[in-house]
């Protein structure tokens, strides 16, 4: 007899489930029979609660908005706000920033109005963020200096950015 | 790692009433790399190289080279998630199986430390030290405002899920669970069955865990969880003393019936076996079965389908129905464990 599930291998296992009128019988190969175990798994202690429902309701509201606006995509991973809401997951770390107003709305909801991290700060990553922010503000300063034609000052700021970027490159390895 | 055996950290633990095991999980991601849902494992090769270098003291487990039933066993040991049996390729597991790291599950890295008899604080310290070691090699996705960035917004901030497994037959049989669970929800914690789908979970085993990960420190989350745990244990003890004082005959009857069933049954389903084991454990805790000792946590694992399947494989017996053979073998195992007969 051929396995009912894959229709390829010889059926070596006979599985019965239920009883009486609800009884079903299946003839499966070893591989497919093993797969039939999967629905008996204990729930994993991690899936603490299902946010899909919540996100789906946000998604319905979103699609109306989206039809009016042009679709925006995350530069890093290509996610749109629709795919994020549908999946219930962000596509990459940059999505949080790309869709900042939506992500703040979602986080506020799922984290019961908590909006600020107060826990552990990873040493290396937080140093990286500091440098990144410093470079951003120096760039703004530089643009202003160039506009006002204060070139001497601008050269100093430019060198400062360069050295920060160089230091950051070292830190990347 | 011996596949068909219960994890050493469980067998070495002391048997205690109510509180079973604790677990800490940290979710971490690498910056400049899409999250696993948008990324194939090939994209992780550089990260995996760094992990290999950082985790030389853990064993690499290559799931893509494993049979399904072996992966199912890892799920029953809580070393990997059901999701990970489908898409997972690599995890790292310690010799005593108390530490496991899943690569490219929902997040790039999921660190998990389990223990029985160890406090959540101790387990967190171990997980955090491991986290520090990884941070030396990896560039974590971290944000000043939202903390550790995770694929699912329910994990942002600390990325911490702390949980405790509790055996609560008193509260469960007394229909008190729902009321407690509703109260816990308001504080951002959940209490739910760990095995099975129905309203009463298998073996009356529940898991208390934090739901919120943002806006509180790791220490605050763990302290609150410990406080709530103590309150639930107190309520369970109260229900048990009511059982002992006011309903002793009924309690004794159901405990001894369960004991008899486990000792003499020749075929038994997972659900029935778990409930009888739960009763016998309650009987031992209430000192109604004074001459008997039980290894509840160990035995609840041993009766799970993949564990039984592993025993069947070593017997090389022919059987017409897998499910039937599993139920028969489960009964044989329980006769050995409870009654000392085969």
Q: Considering CB atoms only, which of B31, B82, B128 is closest to A120?
A: B128
- For B258-272, give one letter per residue: b (16+ CB within 10 A) or e: bbebbbebeebebeb
Which chain A positions have a beta carbon within 8 Å of B213's beta carbon? 111
- Residue-wise pLDDT for B192-236, tens only, equals 988 766 667 899 999 999 999 999 999 999 999 999 999 999 999
For the entire predicted model, the pTM comes to 0.82
Average pLDDT for chain B: 93
**Structure tokens that stand for B58 in this block:** 């853990």
Higher pLDDT, A130 or B142: B142
Q: Considering CB atoms only, which of B34, B163, B215 is closest to A111?
A: B215
Residue B78, marked binder: yes
Is residue B168 scored above 50 in pLDDT?
A: yes
Q: Considering CB atoms only, which of B83, B210, B323 is closest to A17?
A: B323
CB of B53 within 8 Å of a chain A CB? The answer is no
CB count within 10 Å of CB B105 equals 20
Which chain B positions have a beta carbon within 8 Å of A36's beta carbon? 322
Is residue B137 scored above 80 in pLDDT?
A: yes
The verdict on residue A53 lying in a domain is no
Which chain B positions have a beta carbon within 8 Å of A92's beta carbon? 33-35, 38, 141
* CA triple B333-B335-B341, angle to 5 deg: 115
User: B313 has which bridge partners?
Assistant: none
The verdict on residue A58 lying in a domain is no
Question: Which residues have C-beta within 8 Å of that of residue B7, sequence separation ≥ 6?
Answer: B77, B79, B96, B97, B98
**What is A106-139 written as a DSSP string?**
HHHHHTTT-----S---HHHHHHHHHHHHHHHHH
Of B29-43, B155-169, B235-249, the least confident: B29-43
Residue A129's domain comprises: 123-166
What gap in Å lies between CA B79 and CA B21, rounded to an integer? 13
pLDDT at position A170 is: 42
Residue B325, marked binder: no
Give the helix ranges, DSSP H, for B247-321: 248-264, 270-285, 296-302, 305-315
Are B35 and A120 an interchain contact pair (Cβ–Cβ within 8 Å)? Answer: no
- Burial class of residue A148, CB neighbours in 10 A (0-12, 13-18, 19+): exposed
pLDDT at position A48 is: 47
User: B162 has which bridge partners?
Assistant: B24
What gap in Å lies between CA B83 and CA B87, rounded to an integer? 7
For helices B68-76 and B305-315, the axis angle rounded to 10 degrees is 130
**Structure tokens that stand for A124 in this block:** 């290396």
pLDDT at position B164 is: 97
Which chain B positions have a beta carbon within 8 Å of A111's beta carbon? 153-154, 156-157, 212-215
Which chain B positions have a beta carbon within 8 Å of A102's beta carbon? none
What gap in Å lies between CA B136 and CA B262, rounded to an integer? 51
Higher pLDDT, B38 or B268: B268
The verdict on residue A60 lying in a domain is no
A145 lies in the same domain as A112: no
Domains of chain A: total: 3
Query: Would you say B92 and B322 are in contact if contact means Cβ atoms under 8 Å apart?
Result: no
The verdict on residue A51 lying in a domain is no
Q: Considering CB atoms only, which of A14, A107, A125 is closest to B140?
A: A125
Are B217 and A119 an interchain contact pair (Cβ–Cβ within 8 Å)? Answer: yes
Which chain A positions have a beta carbon within 8 Å of B31's beta carbon? 93, 125
- For B60-69, give one letter per residue: b (16+ CB within 10 A) or e: ebebeebebb
Residue B230, marked binder: no
Are B68 and A111 an interchain contact pair (Cβ–Cβ within 8 Å)? Answer: no
Is residue B339 scored above 80 in pLDDT?
A: no
Shortest Cα distance from A151 to chain B (angstroms)? Answer: 34
Are B152 and A92 an interchain contact pair (Cβ–Cβ within 8 Å)? Answer: no
Q: Which helix (H) or strand (E) holds B186?
A: helix B177-186
Q: Considering CB atoms only, which of A33, A47, A91 is closest to B34?
A: A91
Question: Which residues have C-beta within 8 Å of that of residue B107, sequence separation ≥ 6?
Answer: B27, B28, B29, B35, B36, B150, B151, B155, B159
Question: Which residues have C-beta within 8 Å of that of residue B212, sequence separation ≥ 6?
Answer: A111, A112, A114, B157, B188, B221
Which chain B positions have a beta carbon within 8 Å of A13's beta carbon? 321-322
pLDDT at position B1 is: 55
What gap in Å lies between CA B78 and CA B92, rounded to an integer? 13
Shortest Cα distance from A93 to chain B (angstroms)? Answer: 6
Is residue B138 scored above 90 in pLDDT?
A: yes
Is residue B330 scored above 80 in pLDDT?
A: yes
Which chain B positions have a beta carbon within 8 Å of A128's beta carbon? 139
The verdict on residue A95 lying in a domain is yes
Query: Would you say A28 and A36 are in contact if contact means Cβ atoms under 8 Å apart?
Result: yes
Are A117 and B146 an interchain contact pair (Cβ–Cβ within 8 Å)? Answer: yes
The verdict on residue A54 lying in a domain is no
**Structure tokens that stand for B8 in this block:** 């050493």
What gap in Å lies between CA A93 and CA B141, rounded to an integer? 6
Placement of tokens 């997040």 in the chain: B107
Mean pLDDT over B50-54 rounds to 94
**Structure tokens that stand for A35 in this block:** 């797969």
What gap in Å lies between CA A29 and CA A7, rounded to an integer? 9
Q: Give backbone dihedrals phi and psi of B305, rounded to 5 degrees, phi first.
A: -55, -45
Given pLDDT bands bounded at 50, 70 and 90, which one contains residue B44? confident
- For A10-30, give one letter per residue: b (16+ CB within 10 A) or e: ebbbbbeeeeeeeeeebbbbb
Q: Considering CB atoms only, which of B190, B195, B324 is closest to A42?
A: B195
A100 lies in the same domain as A134: no
- Residue-wise pLDDT for B83-98, tens only, equals 899 989 999 999 999 9
Higher pLDDT, A25 or B311: B311
CATH no. for B8-240: 3.30.590.10
DSSP 8-state code for residue B30: B
A102 lies in the same domain as A133: no
Are B35 and A77 an interchain contact pair (Cβ–Cβ within 8 Å)? Answer: yes
Are A15 and B34 an interchain contact pair (Cβ–Cβ within 8 Å)? Answer: no
Are A16 and B321 an interchain contact pair (Cβ–Cβ within 8 Å)? Answer: yes
Cβ within 8 Å of A, B 119-138:
128, 131, 135-136
**Structure tokens that stand for A55 in this block:** 């996100």
- Residue-wise pLDDT for B71-129, tens only, equals 999 999 999 999 899 989 999 999 999 999 999 999 999 999 999 988 999 999 999 99
Domains in chain B: boundaries: 8-240, 248-338
What gap in Å lies between CA B26 and CA B188, rounded to an integer? 18
What gap in Å lies between CA B166 and CA A54, rounded to an integer? 29
Higher pLDDT, A47 or B333: B333
Higher pLDDT, A132 or B142: B142
Residue B165, marked binder: yes
Question: Which residues have C-beta within 8 Å of that of residue B82, sequence separation ≥ 6?
Answer: A38, A41, A43, A44, B75
Residues of chain A with pLDDT under 50: 38-40, 42-43, 48, 169-173
Question: Which residues have C-beta within 8 Å of that of residue A119, sequence separation ≥ 6?
Answer: B147, B157, B158, B160, B216, B217, B218
A79 lies in the same domain as A110: yes
pLDDT at position B342 is: 57
What gap in Å lies between CA B325 and CA A48, rounded to an integer? 33
Can you say whether residue B26 is alpha, beta or left, with left for phi > 0 and alpha for psi between -120 and 50 degrees? Answer: beta
């Amino acid at each position: 007899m051929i396995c009912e599930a894959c229709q390829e291998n010889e059926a070596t296992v006979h599985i019965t489930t239920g009883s009486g009128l609800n009884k079903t019988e299946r003839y499966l190969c070893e591989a497919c029979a093993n797969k039939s175990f999967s629905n008996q798994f204990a729930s994993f202690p991690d899936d603490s609660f299902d946010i899909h429902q919540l996100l789906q309701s946000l998604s319905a509201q979103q699609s109306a908005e989206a039809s009016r606006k042009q679709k925006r995509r995350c530069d890093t991973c290509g996610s749109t706000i629709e795919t994020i809401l549908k999946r219930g997951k962000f596509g990459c770390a940059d999505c949080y920033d790309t869709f900042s107003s939506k992500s703040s709305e979602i986080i506020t909801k799922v984290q019961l109005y908590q909006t600020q991290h107060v826990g552990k700060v990873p040493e290396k990553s937080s140093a990286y963020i500091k440098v990144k922010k410093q470079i951003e503000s120096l760039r703004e300063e530089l643009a202003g200096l160039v506009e006002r034609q204060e070139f001497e000052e601008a050269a100093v700021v430019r060198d400062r950015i360069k050295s920060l970027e160089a230091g950051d490159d070292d830190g990347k390895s | 790692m011996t596949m068909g055996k219960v994890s050493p950290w469980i067998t070495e633990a002391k048997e205690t009433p109510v509180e079973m095991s604790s677990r800490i999980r940290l979710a971490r991601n690498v910056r400049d790399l899409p999250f696993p849902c948008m990324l194939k494992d090939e994209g992780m090769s550089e990260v995996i190289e760094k992990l290999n270098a950082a985790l030389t003291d853990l064993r690499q487990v290559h799931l893509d080279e494993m049979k399904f039933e072996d992966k199912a066993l890892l799920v029953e040991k809580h070393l990997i998630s059901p999701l990970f049996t489908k898409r997972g390729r690599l995890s790292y597991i310690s010799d005593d199986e108390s530490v496991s790291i899943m690569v490219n599950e929902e997040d790039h890295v999921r660190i998990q430390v389990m223990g029985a008899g160890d406090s959540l604080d101790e387990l967190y310290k171990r997980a955090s030290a491991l986290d520090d070691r990884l941070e030396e090699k990896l560039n974590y996705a971290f944000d000043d405002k939202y903390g550790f960035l995770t694929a699912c917004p329910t994990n942002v901030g600390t990325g911490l899920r702390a949980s405790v497994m509790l055996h609560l037959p008193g509260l469960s049989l007394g229909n008190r669970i729902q009321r407690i669970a509703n109260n816990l929800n308001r504080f951002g914690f959940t209490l739910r069955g760990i095995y099975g789908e129905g309203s009463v979970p298998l073996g009356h085993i529940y898991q208390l865990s934090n739901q919120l990960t943002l806006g509180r420190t790791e220490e605050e989350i763990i302290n609150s969880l410990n406080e709530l745990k103590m309150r639930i244990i107190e309520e369970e003890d109260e229900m048990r003393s009511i059982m002992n004082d006011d309903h002793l005959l009924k309690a004794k009857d159901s405990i001894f019936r369960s004991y008899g069933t486990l000792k003499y049954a020749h075929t038994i389903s997972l659900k029935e076996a778990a409930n009888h084991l739960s009763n016998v454990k309650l009987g031992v805790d209430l000192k109604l079965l004074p001459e008997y000792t039980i290894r509840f946590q160990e035995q609840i694992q041993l009766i799970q389908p993949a564990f039984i399947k592993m025993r069947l494989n070593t017997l090389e017996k022919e059987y017409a129905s897998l499910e039937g053979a599993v139920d028969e073998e489960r009964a044989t195992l329980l006769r050995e464990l409870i009654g000392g007969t085969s």
